[in-house]
Every structure is written in structure tokens, then in C-alpha cells.
Amino acid sequence: MVKAVVGANWGDEGKGKITDVLGETSDIIVRFQGGANAGHTIINDYGKFALHTLPSGVFYNHTTSVIGNGVALNIPVLFKEIEGIVSQGVPQPKILVSDRAQMVMPYHILFDQYEEERLGKNSFGSTKSGIAPFYSDKYAKIGFQVSELFDEEEVLREKVKSVCEKKNVMLEHLYHKPLLDPDELYNTLMEYKEMVAPYVCDTSLFLHEAIKEGKNILLEGQLGSLKDPDHGIYPMVTSSSTLAGYGAIGAGIPPYEIKKVVTVVKAYSSAVGAGAFVSEIFGDEADELRRRGGDGGEFGATTGRPRRMGWFDVVATKYGCRMQGTTDVAFTVLDVLGYLDEIPVCVGYEIDGEVTTDFPTTGKLEKAKPVLEVLPGWKSDIRGIKNYEDLPENCRKYIEFVEEKIGYPITLVSNGPERHDIIRRGFED
């Protein structure tokens, strides 16, 4: 069976932990999109880890980790991550890299930095990981596939020269920065080739055979529905599709093979970067939630930036789950809310004097004001509870209120950062 683990909102929902939990019964875990611009935080028996490219199932001996063709592959970052987890006692993971994956080039990172610098106060809040320039080149058909590292030298050198000519026009006349050296870039690619060569294969064929053999495959998404370039809060989005439907493309499998879509939903809201955020809170209220949130405060796993904080947003989450094709909701960081006497929930948006529960396009979203409903808190620590019936009554009421409002079944509840802080509520592997 193929399952997908994806996010409903802005990212940072806790997908890494849910992938880690479901990895126990999986044979293969696939990253199918995005790059090292966002991270998944994992806490398990080996320690605490922030992964950026490696799938979150690398901590199991029985799994194979696949970097799919849809990934923006930064080869040095990937191998730094592998070295990092092995140095902390994790067994060497089994990794396969798609020969059709494209590589984040050093100049992609530079162009990302230069463009944010040029935009100034109008910048997108990029992580400066090179992701937007990477995907721009991919769809302009001037990106570099991993397979091209193994082409004839003269063929690869000719492409490198051609790409450098294009890039140098922008560097000279738009950014006024140093020009690219084709020989230096070619040598860098040869270093990448040496690093990645043992892992490269036709991962789509590998997954095809695994499906025929009845293997359990887990697709791991990055960020969430609201960061999707088509269906998110455009233009404050990422550059690859964050939806489970793209998992078929980014992994190279038929779409009908994805049988279960586990959409991860936070018990409150958080976001990194610019853009509309209707349920956002500020000041001391936000600081307190940020301090208590996540597994050690709400700060970006990649950038360390403080996340913007808000109350749970029914409108955004219902939309995010719909776009993902949700079969199951994993409800995370519920334990964080145990300090509150009352818990506000955003149940609608007021736009130009009218209330809607449907998620609008960006122009309308920027005018939206939250319509809040307040629920009683449970004022207790729920970590360590294993059975749903043992949760405080008001905690169960909060879960059931959210479930009713979003219209999708909450079958997993995470009540702590550790791997086994999970309550199964009808979830079937």
C-alpha cells in the first residue's frame, strides 16, 4: 500500500514525527518534492534531529529511503545530513537517489540571495536555499538532472558553458555580482558525481517493483497546502507542489496507487515567512504560545526564525485537507494548549462585511478578519496518555469540535514530541 503524509497549512505541522511513527510499518519512505528549504524535526531513541532532505524514516534499519525525481537535490546538504545522523549513532541508512532528480546548483543559492537583496522590503522571506531559481531553471529546461553527471565530458561541459553564459548576463547587468566560471562549475559537478554515484538508480522502476511485491510505501511531503504554487496563498508560496497528488509525479508512480492520505494538522497555527495569516496573534499572547509550542519552541527547523503564531484556523484547514484528498487527519502538538483557560478557534472569515467559511484567493484573504469561537481549556498535562478515553473531557471536546468543523476524521492524535507520544483513534495501517 502507498500512503502519503502531507501538511494542511503553512508547513511545520509535525509531518516529520508522523512519518517517523508510520515508518515503523513501512518498507520504503520517499521524499517527492521540495528541497532543503524546510526541515522536519524528529525526536526518537537516537536523539533530536532536524532533517532537510533525508526522508524522516531513515532511523529504521528495515527501511529504504528514496530521494524522488521531484526533489530539488542539494547533494552536499544531503551528504552532510547523512554524516550528521551517522555520527550520532544512527546506522548507515539505505538510500536511493533518482537518476531523474535535478540538482540545486551553487548559483541557485546565490541567485536566491541576490534576488531577496534586490527586492528589499518586498522580498518573499525566502530561506535562500536556491529553491525558486532551481525550479525556474527546471521548467525553463536548463536544469541539470543527476543522470547528466554521467554524460560524455564534452556534452556536459558544453551545457555548463551555455548555462553560464545565460546566468552571467543577469549577474553582470541585474545583480552586479561576480560572474560564473564554467570550468569551476564543471569541477564542482564532478565532485557531486563522486558523492552521489553509489546511490543513483531508476527509483521509479524500483518503486514499480516494490508495489507489485506488496511493499508498504510512505510518501513524505514538505510544507503544506497553503504553500502550494497553484492552490496556496500565491505568490507567498513555495516552488513545487505540496499536494499528495503530486506525490505520484514526484515519486514516479501511478496516482491510483496512493490509497491513504494522512494530512497533518496542528492544534493551533504557525507560519514562517510573509503572507496573509488570518488567525495570527501578537504580543505576549503570541510569545507565550511560541515559547511553549513545538518540541522546544516554535522556531524554523531550517532558519531558526521565530514562527508567526495564531489560533486554529478551521477555514484554512478544511480547505487544506480538501486539496490534499485527506483520508485521515493526524492532529499534532495538542499537549501545548494545556496551559490555556480558554482556547479561541477561527471558525470563519469576515470579508467586506460578509462571513465565509470557504478559503478565498489572496486578494480577498488579505482583507479577511477572523471570526472566533472560544472553547474551554482542560488546564492539564496530557503527555503520556495512550488512550483517547483517558484525555480530559474538554480536550476531547476540542478534538471533536475541530473534527466536525473541518469534516475529516482525526484518527491520530500527537500529545508530545517523542515518537511514542501518539494516540490512535481508529487509524488503520
Give the residue numbers marked as catalytic.
12, 40
| Residue 161 annotated in ligand binding | no
| Residue 47 annotated in ligand binding | no
Count how many residues are written for the chain. Answer: 429
| Residue 15 annotated in ligand binding | yes
Inter-residue long-range contacts of 321-325, CB under 8 Å, 24+ positions, other chains counted: 321/8, 321/225, 321/263, 321/265, 321/406, 321/407, 321/408, 323/225, 323/228, 323/231, 323/243, 324/4, 324/6, 324/8, 324/225, 324/243, 324/244, 324/261, 324/263, 325/243, 325/244, 325/245, 325/261
| Residue 305 annotated in ligand binding | yes
Lookup: cell for 137: 531553471
| Residue 39 annotated in ligand binding | yes
Element (H, E) at 161: helix 153-170
Tell me the pairing of strands 94-98 and 200-201.
parallel
| Residue 294 annotated in ligand binding | no
HSE, CB side, 13 Å, CA atoms: give it for residue 330: 27
| Residue 335 annotated in ligand binding | yes
| Residue 415 annotated in ligand binding | yes
- CB neighbours of residue 283 within 10 Å: 7
| Residue 245 annotated in ligand binding | no
Sign of CA dihedral 356, 358, 361, 367: positive
| Residue 40 annotated in ligand binding | yes
**Residue closest to 158 by CA, chosen among 194, 185, 130:** 185
Sign of CA dihedral 328, 4, 71, 333: positive
| Residue 333 annotated in ligand binding | yes
| Residue 377 annotated in ligand binding | no
| Residue 203 annotated in ligand binding | no
Whether 305 and 382 have beta carbons less than 8 Å apart is answered as: no
| Residue 70 annotated in ligand binding | no
Lookup: cell for 186: 564543471
| Residue 53 annotated in ligand binding | no
Which segments are annotated as binding site for Mg(2+)? 12, 39
Which segments are annotated as binding site for GTP? 11-17, 39-41, 307, 333-335, 414-416
Which segments are annotated as binding site for IMP? 12-15, 37-40, 127, 141, 238, 305
Which segments are annotated as binding site? 11-17, 37-41, 127, 141, 238, 301-307, 333-335, 414-416
Which segments are annotated as binding site for substrate? 301-307
